[in-house]
Structure 1
Amino acid sequence: MARHRKEKTFVLQRFTRRQWMGVAGGLTVVALMVGGGLATQNFYRRENAGTGSTITAYSATKSDEVSAFQAASRGDVRTAIKEGRGGADANTSYVKVVINGDSRVVLGENFTTVKSVLEQGGITLESGDTVSPSLTTKVSESTVIKIERSGSTVETTESEIPFNTVEEKTDSLPAGTKQVKTEGKKGVMARTNLVTKAGSKVVSSNTISSWVKTAPTNKVVLVGTGVASSSSGSSNSGSSSGGSSGSTSVGTTAPVGEMQQWAHNYLISSGYSEADFTGLVYIINHESGWDPHSTNPSSGAYGLPQALPGSKMASAGPDWQNNYQTQLKWFISYCNERYGGIQGAYSFWLSHSWY
């Protein structure tokens, strides 16, 4: 049968000299753009040389889940900001950053470009990192910044959060007697780290995010303040239910560790009460597990009080990123301004699981 179709000709063979010149010009433009992007990255690295490589904030999730994460977390973060949690206000904004497939939210104010997000998030680029979009790209809350660091893996570790012992006074027990109401249980702090190794040796380990996986359960001891009954001890046997029939106080908490001891001394010397310290310890136990660098992967909150954004704590001191004392001073001030005191914030936290 005769074939009436024309033979196919390879498309490049049909290009004219002018068309070839156009293709060459286009490739030159692309090469210049790529080169410019690399030059921008190299400039950023030189500009930030010597600032350290601690990575403090990331957002989103693995690339194939970014869209779903955006839809879920955008509403959560925006709700937290609207409610004013952790000092957030109308000026608070956020951008998501993904590094090697793991991530979290970066909170801040006056974001303009990708570079501004990295700066406010304390993110330092290293040689060989690739960033998308480019550092000069304008950002919005729908932007997802991706950083790939070759030779590094994301690893998750866990550590213990100590529990406290709280003594609560109750008139349902005779004076001078004590009874354990709740046994203490340690909590769990989870950390996601970006680990770079040379063979089996760890070259660097930077924390991407850290959060309270399980809050500690305080050991609660009831301390009797009542009058013993002369008729029988039956009134005391009923106290095994935890003294629910009598009045109980917020409780006196024994400090654990250097940070809690400082917080206790600071509060008492400043005219606050033991009940205030009890409320402070409870909130911080649940918010950050007493990790000054705690960085929530879904909300972007930072530090002991989980401020939104962490830079809000700069009002208490320029060393807010690392100094637990500065962070606690900001926490106390925030509780006073928003809830009328620490116990007010504590009561709100018990009802809402946030403050």
Structure 2
Amino acid sequence: MAKANHRKQTKTLRSLSKRQWTKIAAGVAAVVALVGGSVIAVHSHEARQNSVNRVTSYSATDANALGVSRGSDREDLRGGKAGDTYVTVKINGKNRAVVGSHFTDVKSVLDQGDITLETGDVVNPSLKTKVNESTVITIERADANLETTEAPIGFNVVTKETSDLPRGQQKVESEGQEGVMETTSLVTKAGQKTISSNVFTSFVRQAPVDKVILVGTGSGSSVSSAAANIGSTVPVGEMQQWAHDYLLSNGGSEADFTATVFIISHESGWRVDAQNPSGAYGLPQALPGSKMASAGADWATNYQTQLKWFWGYCARYGGVQGAYAHWQTAHSY
């Protein structure tokens, strides 16, 4: 691909400011706290945790990014601003980084993180306390438990042309495999009755694997175009169908749609309200999610608005296929 240089000028370790070092340290601390806090809850999948690739604050799905902390690269990749602040919020032992700008006090962090307090919640420090990058806000909610559930993420069927097969002949190159969406909610119950359930984090724990079908061209010459290598994808569900039709109606191609499906499936599993512990939000995992407001005021709930923002963001790579090519090597975009 023609790789677009969307990053700011790279800084050396020696040139980093004290504020930047503080942000990096805070990011590492948030990741460590997240891993440590998760052991307090007992869930059916925890026995398998050691064999499963876990997410980090850097990438929603990529095991190769494990151990990489938040920093200027993350801000550049998600369209963040240099003035963004990361504040850790811990509710009943579960951590999440709230990303935003112009934080003034604890209440402003909770507001931007869409964290609603309930009667009886104990907040420390107090709502009017000033905050900075090193602030950790703790909320203790009585009679509430953290419950983690898993849901399958469907896979797509992709067809790719190949000159290695006679024209029209098909061959399954790889079978499809569902992914796993993990959601942690803070649930309050009275006896067996659920009083409230608030989603705290929801992210792709394991990305789906597409079923790939090779279709012979019988041409005798290799198929080398980028579009042919990406292939064509069959839309699944309302969101994908709309994305497919919208792209093709606006000058896009089947390869553009395939690239879109791949990235969104890996970033959010096609869940509009997906929220990584890092604070990345929505189908494209924008960081922070409020940046999608440039595409529409309904950015938090409207998949069409989120996808339009996503395609606009991909323009820095020369288009969504360029973003796809970048994802193949960087495991992020």
TM-score of the aligned structures, taking structure 1 as reference length? 0.73
Higher-helix-fraction structure = 1
Mapped contact 1:168–1:221 kept (Cα < 8 A):
yes
Distance in 2, matches of 1:124 and 1:202, equals 17
1:294 to 274, 280, 288: 274
1:124 maps to 116
Contact 2:153 2:180 survives alignment (8 Å): yes
Q: Is 1:352 aligned to residue 330 of structure 2?
A: yes
**Equivalent position of 1:115 in the other structure:** 107
| Residue 278 of structure 1 pairs with residue 258 of structure 2 | yes
* Partner Cα separation in structure 1 for residue 299 and residue 253 of structure 2: 25
SS at match of 2:217: strand
Partner letter of residue 208 of structure 2?
P
Question: 1:60–1:96: 8 Å Cα contact kept in structure 2?
Answer: no
Question: What's the Cα RMSD here?
Answer: 2.2
The residue matched to 2:257 in structure 1 has which SS?
helix
SS at match of 1:209: strand
| 2:164 pairs with 1:186 | no
The answer to whether structure 1 residue 161 and structure 2 residue 139 are counterparts is no
Q: Which residue of 1 aligns with 2:187?
A: 195
Q: Tell me the secondary structure at the aligned position of residue 107 of structure 1.
A: strand
**Separation in 2 of the partners of 1:177 and 1:354?**
35
Bigger mean CA offset, 163-172 vs 245-254? 245-254
Residue aligned with 2:149, SS: strand
C-alpha spacing 1:64/1:133, structure 2 compared with 1 (3 Å): farther
Q: Which runs of 5 or more residues in structure 1 are unaligned?
A: 1-58, 67-71, 229-242
Residue 265 of structure 1 corresponds to 245
Q: Which residue of 2 aligns with 1:39?
A: none
Displacement of 1:263 in angstroms is 0.8
- Matches of 1:213 and 1:65, distance apart in 2: 17
Q: 1:255-290 CA deviation, whole Å, 9 max, x = no partner?
A: 111111111111111111110100010001110111
What is the aligned partner in structure 2 of residue 76 from structure 1? 69
Identity of aligned residues (%): 58
Q: Distance in 1 between matches of 2:200 and 2:164?
A: 49
1:61 Cα deviation after fit: 7.2
The runs of 5 or more residues in structure 2 that have no matched partner are 1-29, 38-55, 59-67
Indicate which of 193, 206, 209 corresponds to 2:198: 206
CA gap 1:63/1:353 in 2 versus in 1, 3 angstroms: closer
Task: Name the larger-Rg structure.
Answer: 1
Relative to structure 1, the CA distance from residue 150 to residue 106 in structure 2 (aligned partners, 3 Å threshold; closer, same or farther) is same
Deviations 1:120-142 (A, max 9, x none): 11111111111110111111110
Aligned counterparts, 1:36-51, within 5 A: none
**What is the deviation of 1:201?**
1.5
Query: Distance between the aligned counterparts of 2:35 and 2:146, measured in 1?
Result: 17
